[in-house]
Structure 1
């Protein structure tokens, strides 16, 4: 009997000290004999708060019960703070759950506070959860701190790469100008050769029935006589004397001139593509200190689902030899890459890939998935995405000494041991 009274007394103290389901910062809203509904504005008696009956239109009088769960929802209940039932979760971190979860027989808060009146005895798992989270935080801190060291090397490398790329662009532009000037000369040469060729065709390729081409084999006496026609011989001789070449040579020269123009045009198109690529590359966002620049063109591979995947950073993504797309810019600045225009996929359009970039001590590719047909996702771990500022913020938030070596992890970021914490 005394034990029952003690439990009852403790519950009364808790209820009087604070309002169930409300964070400490909001308890002042529930002080006094009257309560003003937080959104809808009605005024009710304090005794009507958490009485398991919905009195306020906005449901704010029942933060600690499920009575207004059809009104108080995580997605629509607008209050200055987060929504739902507040779990204090001492030893871990506070959280909010939907009011419909309160006293439903399932332990949702790690401290079990959501089941205060269901008869369920919830084990307090907050300390274990806190320990697990701290382990993850320690791992993340070390990942960023170690990765940032490699990032400095990448930044130094980028300082050399950018001027080099600019020189390559300048040289490509010079070569493009030279090719365009050469094309003008070759076109003039082609036009001249064409004029001579046209005359040669009249002499060399006469379509009349009595003419036999010079390269045609004469298999009877009549054809030999026609080939030896004095007038035709005279025309060919005059052509050779005037142009210094046979009619066949004239045709061959025109053919060669056309080929030179075609080759030059192809060279111009190729060089225009190079110039465009260099310009696009130099205008690409590579981070505040160009830390992502050294990744350009690097091939990073992995195997998933029976396929080989290859990411040529800032260039293309492949599944085996099948294109998953070419670099199309950042979908989210320095965090998500977009590769589009891959090989056509039946019924789903062109293949594409989205690459999420996260901190890693080495450059690795992982977590390849195909969430929808021919649309792929993968994760690129790289030191370029690591941040000392992020590590420092985590140390501050979790009160971890800035100069304390807290974790030992391998190149993939997996913990090998956990130092002082364990």
Structure 2
């Protein structure tokens, strides 16, 4: 009663063993190659006798009946490569005299003698992976410091911008004061030069006319000869005819000057004071040494007024230039602070750096967040290969690529542009520059700021 069971187990094991003898298949596909009377092509297109599997003749359209031979043009041979990575090769490379699988399984029926190199390759790859992990960890450590530095730089620029804006407001107020000072200096200059011209033109026909001319009266009252008449000078120089012992009050003097505390010569002629002195209506210019008509040094006064006006103009220009320079600094700072330096400001440190790389006769300069240039070996010509536009990485990793466009136009070609790929490394260095298509450049920038923590990946079969 036990014989049927033994026979069944033997047949099953025989089928399993035979399926393992089929060359060029992976463990995941062995279920399709268990020996049966017939074989169904994996794409389901054809059913053939199992004896036609790996018979060096292609029966299935998908080439699945010949995984271990070169019969099918679209076939694939699976290299197991114990100790290294398994991979597929084109079935046309099976038994072609060249060892493609490191475990030599692809040359099972050729005269080529191959050595199994899978162990060495695996050791080498594992060492490279360890070095990458070590470099990644070191880069992440440096990145954490860059984040701290970036945040500090950001705050410093914010504070600097705040201080500049406050200084700009102070300069704006100073500018308004300086403008008023210049306006007054210009008015004083015009008044004195006008008086000088009037004096030159005023040639009276007789002494009495000279005594009663507005210019002579104005000069008599202008005790300090500054070209303006104040309420104090009116009080000191004008007498009341009815009571010469009484002096004008300050309020009366201001009323006589039209409500102003100070007037120039042109304004004097429109005042009540001149009108009453001219008609003799209760007022006269006092006699005596102190009230004697004063003859100021007109030329010296005019020169002083002209110099004062020029000084006021120069001072105003200095304030205007300083304010304009400060506005440019504020604009540059605002532009710098508006850029995207990463979620944690890790790329902030690149804002003030430029990196160079010489390739053959050209030197390339990358200034992140600014522009990319190319200079020939003689340094005679510098060409702009692009100006900073934006980050251009894929969704979820936007900060992996930098886009620079609007460069100088090419001769009979497009406008130059550059795409910079950022890779993880312990140094900040420009690694490579290429021009895959006309006037379209690609660069690799290595920086710790581009390092990302390794995330576990799901194992994926290479054949799926």
Partner residue in 2 for 1:329: 390
| Superposition map of 1:59-70 within 5 A | 59-69=63-73
Within 5 Å, which residues of 2 pair with 1:16-27?
16-27=19-30
Which secondary structure does the structure 2 equivalent of 1:89 belong to?
A: coil
Task: Quote how far apart the aligned CAs of 1:133 are.
Answer: 1.6
How far is 1:154 from its partner? 0.8
CA distance in 2, matches of 1:57, 1:38: 10
- Is the counterpart of residue 158 in structure 1 residue 150 in structure 2? yes
In 2, Cα distance between equivalents of 1:15 and 1:179: 93
Q: 1:7-44 CA deviation, whole Å, 9 max, x = no partner? A: xxxxxx98642432111122112224133322244333
Q: CA deviation at 1:275?
A: 3.2
- Identify the residue that residue 351 of structure 1 maps to in structure 2: 416
Aligned to 1:275: 334
- Distance of 1:114 and 1:181 partners within structure 2: 86
2:47 alignment partner, one of 39, 43, 49: 43
TM-score (norm 1): 0.61
Residue 372 (structure 2) pairs with residue 317 (structure 1): yes
- Alignment partners' CA distance in 1, 2:362 and 2:422: 21
Report the alpha carbon displacement of residue 356 of structure 1 after superposing the two structures with TM: 2.0
- Tell me how many residue pairs correspond in the alignment: 331
Matched residue, 2:80? 88
Are the counterparts in 2 of residues 40 and 56 from structure 1 also a CA contact under 8 Å? no
Equivalent position of 1:234 in the other structure: none
- 3-state SS in 1 of match to 2:392: strand
Looking at structure 1, the residues matched to 336 and 427 of structure 2 have their Cα atoms a distance apart, in angstroms, of 27
Does the C-alpha gap of structure 1 residues 263 and 372 become closer, same or farther in structure 2, counting only changes over 3 Å? farther
Q: Larger Cα Rg: Structure 1 or Structure 2?
A: 2
**RMSD between aligned residues:** 4.8
Counterpart of 1:344 in 2: which secondary structure?
A: coil
Gaps in structure 2 of 5+ consecutive residues: 1-15, 184-200, 202-263, 268-301, 303-309, 460-464
Verify: 1:307 aligned to 2:362, yes or no.
yes
Q: 1:151 to 1:266 in 2, by over 3 A?
A: closer
Paired residues of 1:300 and 1:312 also in contact (CA < 8 A) = yes
Q: Could you say which residue in structure 1 is the equivalent of 2:430?
A: 365
The answer on 1:376 being equivalent to 2:380 is no
The unaligned stretches of length 5 or more in structure 1 are 1-12, 73-83, 193-229, 231-239, 246-251, 398-422
Helix, strand or coil for the counterpart of 1:329?
strand
Cα deviation, 1:302-336, whole Å, max 9, x if unaligned, reads: 32213322222222222237322222222212322
The CA deviation string for residues 356-385 of structure 1, in whole angstroms up to 9 with x for no partner, is 211221211222223333332222222222
Residues 112-146 of structure 1: CA deviation (Å, up to 9, x unaligned):
21222233222222222223222322221221122
SS in 2 for 1:334: helix
Check conservation: 1:40, 1:58, Cα contact below 8 A. Answer: no
Normalising by structure 2, report the TM-score. Answer: 0.56
1:51-75 superposed Cα distances (whole Å, 9 cap, x missing partner) = 2222222222222222221x34xxx
